Structure 1
Amino acid sequence: MAQTIPAALGDAADRFGDHPAYVQDGEVVTFLELLRRVRRAARGYVAAGLEPGDRVVVWAPNSIAWVVAALATSYAGGTLVPANSRYTGHEVAEIVDRTSARIVVVEDGFLGRTQIADLRAASELASVSLVVELAHLADIDMGSVTTADVDRLAESVSPDDVADILFTSGTTGKPKGAMSAHRQTIGVARAWGELGGVNGQDRYLVVNPFFHSFGYKVGIVTGLLTGATLYPVATFDLDATMEIIESERISVLPGAPTIFTSLLNAPGRTDRDLSSLRLAVTGAAVVPVVLIERMRRDLAIDQVVTAFGMTEAVVVTMCREGDSAETVATTCGRAIPGMETRIGPDGELLVRGEYVMLGYLDDEAATAEAIDADGWLHTGDIGVLDDQGNLSITDRLKDMYISGGFNVYPAEVEQALARMDGVADVAVVGVPDERMGEVGKAYVVGTAAPDDVIAFAKERLANFKVPRHVEVVDGLPRNLSGKVLKTELRDGS
């Protein structure tokens, strides 16, 4: 049984051969063709100076080429570092510099932006030997590097080698890189696929971004292990999504609750045949019971489940087939095989097991703070477990909120806004939003105008991090130790 990503790719080519691995915009790539493209790109990486353990940053939206760029990294013995496609050049430059990345793969021009120019303007990229546009991945000079050379590199990859580093912001506002070994990335994808019953007959629509563990690990890697055909979606468009589900007979659709709310409320949905959907997995926010009921009734999805995960552990709990709508909507299910959960003395959810990250990149202090001596990961979420072990998240120790399925860490937003002239003090909280679940609201002390604050944020932060509301106040409520009382801010919103 494969324990590394290169081995999983090789096994998939052997087992599934000419079966379609990916379909996008009329292009069909089989598992054998996928292996061929990955080998070709891996040769180019090595010729460009990539050595085992070196990092490759991939900054682009979902596409077949993204998959090739990522898998080629592992095949050449490197470590994948996905970057959020909505990030600004400054945000990605920090990731590149922090990881000393050797290669950066970019979809230049996505959303009308100038990613490569922005990246070079933000950093000297001292560690980088190659910046390549995703569209030109197959054009990299391979030099004298042969397929046999990269095959040897692929075979030398160990299950304990670091496969990927996924960045997640902490409460300090500084992004932290969660490192996972190949055995962990493979193992969690296998567990998720088995619980969902994913198989080679499934057609899996990947709306979740590949830069996120939900799209990469339980998307790309699960596809390799099961033989499911994946349909990547670069940007979510409601009509296009319904068209793909109907025309391609999509059977598996994971996504944030907003995806399913949009589908249910879509004009013309009743004129579409969406009956092929059999498995939907959602989470990342509070899920109303009525949503689960409507997904089962109105979308006729046989198996609707919720799950809980985080960048540091990917998938921790998951509902199972046969669970009631109430259980699915009000809990995140039970610990998956290989993981265990408990509630600490302060009500904090603690998790331990095979898929907890190795640690944070170059940050022993943060790692020790997150994972205690007994191996328990302190999640920062307050939760309860019922008699069956089903988890319900009730509150957050951290101030993180979830906007449209993406985690937003107020401290990171606050640090960006604090650099603006006219902002003397600032606090950001999540407030309810009908469409996005939550959006940011910034309380600003100073002379800056609300519209200018939002414009300033848009230049420096990904769109989902930009506060949607700004209120200028005389001062922020604080306790005796000087900490901002964000509960008061949220209650007053």
Structure 2
Amino acid sequence: MTIQAFLDAVSNVKNVVLADAKSEVTGEEFVQQVIRGSEEITNSGLKAGTSCLVRLSNNVASVVLLFSVLRAGGVVFVGNPHDPIAKTTGIIKKFGIGAFYGDKPSVLAIRANLDSDCDVAKLFGGKILGAYDDANSRPLSSQDERMNRVNIAVFSSGSTGDPKAILHNTDSIFANAKKHADEVGLKPTDVVAGFLPIYYSYGLVANLMGSLAAGAKFVFLGNSSGLSQEWAREQEISVLSLTPWFAMQLDIDVPSLRVMTFGGDAMFSHIAKELQKRFPKCELYSTYGLTEAGPRVATWRFDGKTIPDSEIVPLGKPLEGVELLLEEPQSDSHYGELLVKTDTRMLGYYYGIEAGFTMPDWPENIVRTEDLFREVGGDLFFVSRAKEMIVQNGEKIFPSSVESVLRRINGVVDANVCGVHCETRGQIAKAFIKANIEIDVTDVRRALLDKLPQSAIPSEYVFVDEIPRTATGKKSSAAVYQ
């Protein structure tokens, strides 16, 4: 589905499709604003094919800006509005960004940090600015002809902390959003909570674009203090999407709530059981995805079901048109890498002007997830991310399994298990634990030994004040402990 086809469908929605604390728009009004915005952007000097960094805040104006740039022919690089100005400036230089958009203070600060002069244009009544730097601009199509189809790029730092851009076109993004919306049963009468950051693919595609595709009302959370029962009741929220981490922190009773979806991180069985107790009247969906795949891949509905006696819930049913394949397990194990076959696969990675493009040597429409799964009784269960697996004295340790047990120990609030280099043993597993009461390490080890084999027990334990996490609640890949 092209950007124009998507907008045509949204324009037929007569009800409110987007709202925040300051404004709300019907489908028709939203599209009219996008048309005016794209004309302003074109008239202010943007050339089709220019790489554009758009700092996406959680509000209606940012969504209008995103679609306006897309309609004007810009290639949108999705920007985190909370990134420091110096980091954003570095990204602009590294990726050859020719235009950048955001609120007035941030755009002016970015412009001041760049070496070259930029033309600045006022957009949307001057509340949003655009800055243009032709000297820095490197249109993607001029870099590699294979990238002529790129419309949108989502940043991922992986395990290195060095950002790369995952490239897509709107056809696959909108198709993936529609498939997800259909799978979890979104309705035009739904009110969807805009809690997840829309600069992440889960929040942008599944949450926001899925809502627009269904013709539902999407309401942005109006404050930074977290999701409150009062706000959810006032807005009559019926659909809520969270990461498992945030779901466990949630304590609300909202009569209108009918659907909850969870993604972005592993869903442990004990968390799923707790969610069943807390939200007995809701449809509950555990979802799996990765940005390279579009991003949504599979969904497992677990309300009213008996949760399997396992650490992790099943992967579930693939979305329409998606195939889930398990690479042949090694002879000494019962797990293999999950392969996803989907027509919404990314177009490739872009590492910047100097490093250029690459498309991994994957078979057609296949995405290698680097996630290890095992098959049990016809269901696939997550084991570990391949890069997180720890080999200690030749024995494999899967951090997710250890963390699941740790979090169930009385007094443990959060935990992170990672591998540390060791001269004699290759690696050792080190457990970082956040607790709200004093806990003896001996008790921790005893609790682990009750659930796990000796070979899976970490060698070191450190109690910390906080486990670093991203804005969506995932463990930070660049965690630093004090």
* Common fold by TM > 0.5: yes
- Does the aligned pair in 2 maintain the 1:49–1:102 contact within 8 Å? no
Cα contact 2:103–2:129 (8 A) shared by 1: no
The structure 1 residue matched to 2:367, chosen from 359, 363, 377, is: 377
Match status 1:94 vs 2:127: no
Return the offset for 1:274: 0.7
- 1:361 and 2:344 are equivalent in the alignment: no
Q: Percent same amino acid among aligned pairs?
A: 21
The alpha-carbon deviation at position 464 of structure 1 amounts to 5.7
| SS in structure 1 at match of 2:296 | coil
Which position in structure 2 is the counterpart of 1:447?
Answer: none
The answer to whether the Cα contact below 8 Å between 1:49 and 1:129 also exists between their aligned partners in 2 is no
Question: How do residues 269-288 of structure 1 correspond to structure 2 at under 5 angstroms?
Answer: 269=252, 273-288=253-268
Please list the CA deviations of residues 108-136 of structure 1 after superposition, one character each: whole Å capped at 9, or x if unmatched.
56xxxxx346534543367x654768873
Q: 2:114 aligns with which of 123, 131, 139?
A: 123
Task: Output the CA distance in 2 between the equivalents of 1:262 and 1:131.
Answer: 42
* Deviation of the 1:317 alpha carbon: 1.4
**Structure 1 position 225, deviation (Å):** 1.4
1:174 equivalent in alignment to 2:162: yes
Q: CA deviation at 1:399?
A: 4.1
> 1-side partners of 2:435 and 2:256: how far apart?
28
Match of 1:38 in 2: 34
Conserved? CA contact 1:340–1:353, under 8 Å: yes
CA distance in 2, matches of 1:71, 1:434: 44
Maintained 8 Å contact 2:20/2:220: yes
2:39 partner letter: R
Q: CA deviation at 1:203?
A: 0.2
- Asked if 1:8 is matched to 2:6, the reply is yes
Instruction: Tell me the equivalent position of 1:53.
Output: 49
Residue 249 of structure 1: aligned partner = 236
Q: Provide the secondary structure at the position in 1 that maps to 2:249.
A: helix
Question: 1:183 offset after TM fit, Å?
Answer: 1.5
The offset of 1:351, in angstroms, is 1.5
Q: Deviations over 1:22-59 (max 9, x none)?
A: 12115221111111211121112112222222222122
- AA aligned opposite 2:115: E
Question: SS state of the match for residue 35, structure 1?
Answer: helix
1:193 pairs with one of 177, 181, 184: 181
Which residue pairs with 1:73 in the alignment?
Answer: 69
* Contact persistence 1:38–1:69 (CA under 8 A): yes
1:318 aligns with 2:299: yes
2:454 is matched with none
Supply the AA of the counterpart residue of 1:9: L
Task: Tell me the distance in 2 between the aligned counterparts of 1:117 and 1:429.
Answer: 44
Contact 2:55–2:79 (CA under 8 A) maintained in structure 1? yes
Moved more, 277-286 or 227-236: 227-236
Structure 1 unaligned blocks of 5 or more: 110-114, 142-159, 411-426, 436-442, 444-449, 455-462, 471-493
**Structure 2 CA distance for partners of 1:276 and 1:44, relative to 1, 3 Å:** same
User: Are the equivalent residues in 2 in contact too, given 1:203–1:230 (CA < 8 A)?
Assistant: yes
1:20 alignment partner, one of 13, 16, 20: 16
The alpha carbon displacement at 1:237 in A equals 2.6
Give me the whole-angstrom Cα distance separating, in 1, the residues matched to 2:320 and 2:76.
26
Gaps of 5+ in 2: 132-147, 331-335, 390-398, 404-415, 419-427, 437-459, 468-474
**Matched residue of 2:280: which SS?**
coil
Partner of residue 202, structure 1: 190
Cα distance in 2 for residues equivalent to 1:137 and 1:108: 6
The answer to whether the 8 Å contact 1:6/1:71 transfers is no
Give the deviation of 1:9 after TM superposition.
Answer: 1.4
> Hey, what's the Cα distance between the residues in 2 that align with 1:23 and 1:260?
23
Q: Distance in 2 between matches of 1:305 and 1:247?
A: 24
Contact 1:202 1:251 in 2 (8 A): yes
Count of residue correspondences: 392
Q: Secondary structure at the match of 2:151?
A: strand
Q: SS at 1:317's partner residue? A: strand
Contact 1:56 1:105 (8 Å CA) reproduced: yes
Is the alpha carbon distance of 1:311 and 1:130 closer, same or farther for their aligned partners in structure 2, counting shifts above 3 Å?
A: farther
What residue in structure 1 maps to residue 471 of structure 2?
A: none
Which residue, 310, 334, 344 being the options, matches 2:317? 334
Alpha-carbon contact 2:51-2:99 (below 8 Å) kept? yes
- The answer to whether the 8 A contact 1:213-1:311 is kept is yes
- Say whether the 8 Å CA contact 2:351–2:357 is kept in structure 1: no
- 1:377-398 Cα shifts (integer Å, max 9, x gaps): 222221223444x432211222
**8 Å contact 1:207–1:254 — kept in the other structure?**
yes
How far the C-alpha of 1:172 sits from its partner, in A, is 4.5
For 2:315 and 2:245, how far apart are their aligned partners in 1? 17
Match of 2:442 in 1: none
Distance 1:349 1:137 in 2: 45
Structure richer in helix, relative to its length: 1
Change (3 A) 1:134 1:351: farther
User: 8 Å contact 2:101–2:128 — kept in the other structure?
Assistant: no
Q: How far does residue 308 in structure 1 lie from its aligned partner after superposition?
A: 1.2
Which residue does 1:146 correspond to in 2?
none
How far, CA to CA, are the matches of 2:125 and 2:185 in structure 1? Answer: 34
CA positional deviation for 1:321: 6.5
Q: Secondary structure at the match of 1:372?
A: coil
Find the residue that maps to 2:382 and give its secondary structure: strand
1:233 to 2:216 alignment: no
**RMSD value, Cα:** 3.9
- For 1:315, the aligned partner's letter is R
| Structure 1 position 315, deviation (Å) | 0.9
Match of 1:261 in 2: 248
Aligned-partner residue type, residue 371 of structure 2? D
Superposition TM-score, scaled by structure 2 size: 0.71
CA spacing shift, 1:243–1:322, aligned 2, 3 Å: closer
Counterparts of 1:226 and 1:250, CA distance in 2: 15
Amino acid at match of 1:184: S
What is the TM-score with the length of structure 1 in the denominator?
Answer: 0.69
Cα gap change, 1:467 to 1:282, in 2 (>3 Å): same
